[in-house]
Amino acid sequence: MLILFALTAQAQPAPITVMDQFAIRAVSSPAVSPDGEWVAYTVTETLFEKETTRSRVWMSSVDGRHHLPMTLADADATDPKFSPDGRYLTFLSARGGDGKPQVWAMNRLGGEAEPLTRVKPGVSDYAWSPDGTRLLLTIRDAPTQVGDGPHPFVIDRQQFKRDYVGYLDRRRTHLYVMAIGDTAVKRLTHGDYDNSQAVWSPDGTRIAFVSNRSADPDASIDSNIWIVDAEKGEQEAGLVQVTTNPGTDTQPAWSPDGRSIAYVTAIQPELFWYATTHLAVNEARSGSTARLLTVEIDRNVNQPSFSADGRTIRFIVEDAGRTHLAQISATGRTMERIVSGDVTINGYASHANLVVTQTGSFQSPDELHVLQSNRMRRLTHHNRGFLERVEMPAFEEIRFPSADGTTIHGFLIKPNGYREGVRYPTLLWIHGGPVAQYEHSYMFTPHLFAANGYAVLLINPRGSSGYGQAFSEILFADWGNKDYEDVMAGVSFAIDRGVADPDRLGVGGWSYGGILTNYVITKTNRFKGAVSGASETLMRSNYGHDHYQLYWEKELGLPWETPENWERLSSFNHVARIETPTLWIGGAADWNVPIIGSEQMYQAMKRLGRETLLVVYPGEHHGIERPSFQKDVAERYLHWFDRHVKPSK
């Protein structure tokens, strides 16, 4: 009886805790076998005690009866693919001692995995040729420095640094082919350009890829789709330039007959990420005219692929807090959403009429689902134990008018144990981007806040994606204006609904979420506590220090020519207005949004005698990766808000 009682008690869902984030398994990268009977994918787990994560390749039968881990937990394995004959399952792994990822192959009849490549710099991407005789490899040039010890960084590029990469030299990423059973690789592309997203033509004679081959790629976002001969390469046969749009053309996908290429295009380069991306089709030759298929829907698209008969093109589309799988006729005449509802589709793979999606929702981390005969069925359950153990807060979609009447959309998460008529401490938690959206996907941090007694507002203010280009581009060179009005209208809505306690409000976010937090706390003192994660504050001090020089110039002009633009957006100039106790937090090695902004605001608030704290994580970039630091971040969020926001009136 005692044992049964203990088991029953343990089975009851409990509020989520800080440590529960490390029980979530990330399911991704589905690939369908050539016979349509199996799906390979990756599962990433956190090894908290070892301060790392580990990705393994799994394989599930499409009927859901068999689920098999295919690789061991002693080394990462990612990017699973099947050989065209289905005999081998391949993946990328750095197992073997040198730390460089290679292509490994596992015979599905049994036996240990063996390396197919032994490339000194390592392989960053690969693809089987349609006939299974060759591999297409994406490889970054090897370092040219020799000898032991540190070397100076010698820099001559305009774009000279990148977060997670470091200072940039002239090493480039190129395409190679390798015959199966051989170790020698043949280089296909050359020059001072990077090349990526390479895909074989259906007959295996050509390769389409993405490259920015403008006069100075560091000063342009003009990436195009190119074709190279798979045997002769660029130096012998030259290149075919398929697209000429001055914006970004990416994600090429061949039609089954090899005559056309579908891709994602942004046709207004002056607006860069504020511009809606569209699905386009070009003939696979120079001089053809692009056909834009999705302009009328005014929503961002990605991951195009042709159906087996070439009549339709599948793609993922963002839309008002959701991300769906859609398809459109190759002529662009008819479009339908083949997976819709309150979900987020983060990836998919297909074979004939079978589609496997990587699907998440507010109440479930991503799992694989099978779409067959117009019916969706969950295939994997890697997070079942986690979901059975934790209590889910209630949430609802909300819509409300902003100050100028614009309808704003978002989500209101209610605290665990919510009771109608009771007002709760409420956190305005702002998303990054700014061109991104809160959607029907699992987000650990808001769940953690709800489990600790907070209502949480997740608002998609103007600047967010998912609502059309006009909604997004209004933020161009005008941060902290309309988006500030929108999030504050969301706070008023929650107060009017009787959920939010107007005397117990907190605000925070990461990246642009931190940036908008800074605008909020320099414009109002309504909030009792704030957390600004990885935020920018004194904009001109970031020019040449972060990795956005080109985008800064496009949006604000050159800082010595138009300083007024830069100063207008600098929340640091209004730091004396901040009375909200503020936690400044970020990674010491972040070159996306450098810690200098948080340091400057902390220093100023400290000098002004305001309550503040600065937390810097050594060795961390824009995203905090070390599990113990992730734990520390979550605990500091709770401690700061519990101290400043939660206390009763």
- Tens of pLDDT, residues 534-550: 999 999 999 999 999 99
Q: Give the model's pLDDT for residue 7.
A: 33
- What is the C-alpha to C-alpha distance for residues 298 and 294, in angstroms, rounded to an integer? 7
CB 117, CB 135: distance < 8 Å: yes
271: Cβ contacts below 8 Å, ≥ 6 apart: 469, 473, 476
- Tens of pLDDT, residues 550-609: 999 999 999 999 999 999 999 999 999 999 999 999 999 999 999 999 999 999 999 999
Q: How confident is the model at residue 52 (pLDDT cuts 50, 70, 90)?
A: very high
Q: Give the model's pLDDT for residue 143.
A: 84
For the record, the structure tokens of 573 come out as 């100039």
> Residue 246, exposed/middle/buried by CB under 10 A (0-12, 13-18, 19+)?
middle
Q: Give the model's pLDDT for residue 5.
A: 26
| pLDDT mean over 82-100 | 91
Q: Give the model's pLDDT for residue 211.
A: 97
| pLDDT mean over 26-31 | 97
Q: Give the model's pLDDT for residue 11.
A: 62
| pLDDT mean over 133-148 | 88
**CA-to-CA dists, residue 317 to 5, 253, 443, angstroms:** 48, 16, 20
- Tens of pLDDT, residues 499-523: 999 999 999 999 999 999 999 999 9
CB 445, CB 634: distance < 8 Å: yes
| pLDDT mean over 113-140 | 95
362: Cβ contacts below 8 Å, ≥ 6 apart: 342, 395, 411, 440, 441, 442, 443
Q: Give the model's pLDDT for residue 2.
A: 25
| pLDDT mean over 609-627 | 97
- Tens of pLDDT, residues 177-203: 999 988 899 999 999 999 999 999 999
- Tens of pLDDT, residues 428-476: 999 999 999 999 999 999 999 999 999 999 999 999 999 999 999 999 9
Query: Which of the 8 DSSP states describes residue 57?
Result: E
Closest CA to 599 of 528, 501, 532: 532
| pLDDT mean over 295-306 | 95
Q: Radius of gyration over alpha carbons of the chain, in Å?
A: 25
Q: How confident is the model at residue 6 (pLDDT cuts 50, 70, 90)?
A: very low
For the record, the structure tokens of 69 come out as 């881990």
Q: What is the DSSP string of 173-195?
A: EEEEEEETT----EE---SS--E
CB 578, CB 584: distance < 8 Å: no
Long-range contact list for 25-29, CB < 8 A, 24+ apart? 25/365, 25/382, 25/383, 25/386, 26/365, 26/366, 27/358, 27/365, 27/366, 27/367, 27/368, 27/380, 27/382, 27/383, 28/346, 28/347, 28/358, 28/366, 29/78, 29/79, 29/80, 29/347, 29/358
Degrees, nearest 5: CA angle 17-23-27: 135
Q: Give the model's pLDDT for residue 12.
A: 85
Q: Taking the domains of the chain in order of start, what are their residue ranges?
A: 392-644
Average of per-residue pLDDT values in the chain: 93
For the record, the structure tokens of 169 come out as 């030299």
pTM for the structure as a whole: 0.93
The total of other beta-carbon atoms located within 10 Å of residue 131's CB is 11
Residue 331 has pLDDT above 60, yes or no: yes
Q: Give the model's pLDDT for residue 649.
A: 54
**CA-to-CA dists, residue 443 to 48, 448, 559, angstroms:** 19, 9, 37
Q: How confident is the model at residue 9 (pLDDT cuts 50, 70, 90)?
A: very low
- Tens of pLDDT, residues 74-89: 889 999 999 999 999 9
**CA-to-CA dists, residue 1 to 13, 52, 386, 615, angstroms:** 21, 40, 26, 49
Would the CA dihedral through 465, 431, 456, 527 be positive or negative?
Answer: negative
Query: Dihedral of the CA atoms 358, 361, 363, 365 (nearest 10)?
Result: 30
Residue 393 has pLDDT above 90, yes or no: yes
The total of other beta-carbon atoms located within 10 Å of residue 551's CB is 13
Type of residue at 591:
W
Closest CA to 162 of 550, 529, 554, 578: 550
* CATH superfamily name and code, 392-644: Alpha/Beta hydrolase fold, catalytic domain (3.40.50.1820)
Closest CA to 95 of 51, 133, 57: 57
Q: Give the model's pLDDT for residue 8.
A: 36
Which residue in the block uniquely carries the two structure tokens 């099947």?
82
CB 511, CB 530: distance < 8 Å: no
**CA-to-CA dists, residue 500 to 410, 431, 495, angstroms:** 15, 19, 5
Q: What is the DSSP string of 520-569?
A: HHHH----SEEEEES---SGGGGTTTSS-HHHHHHHH--TTT-HHHHHHT
> Residue 648, exposed/middle/buried by CB under 10 A (0-12, 13-18, 19+)?
exposed
Q: Is residue 301 classed as helix, strand or coil in its secondary structure?
A: strand
User: Helix/strand/coil (H, E, C) string of 379-430?
Assistant: CCCCCHHHHHHECCCCEEEEEEECCCCCEEEEEEECCCCCCCCCCEEEEEEE
Query: Which of the 8 DSSP states describes residue 305?
Result: E
CB 168, CB 591: distance < 8 Å: no
User: Helix/strand/coil (H, E, C) string of 222-288?
Assistant: CCEEEEEECCCHHHHHCEEECCCCCCCEEEEEECCCCCEEEEEECCCHHHHHHCCCEEEEEECCCCC
| pLDDT mean over 350-367 | 93
270 φ, ψ to 5°? -65, -20
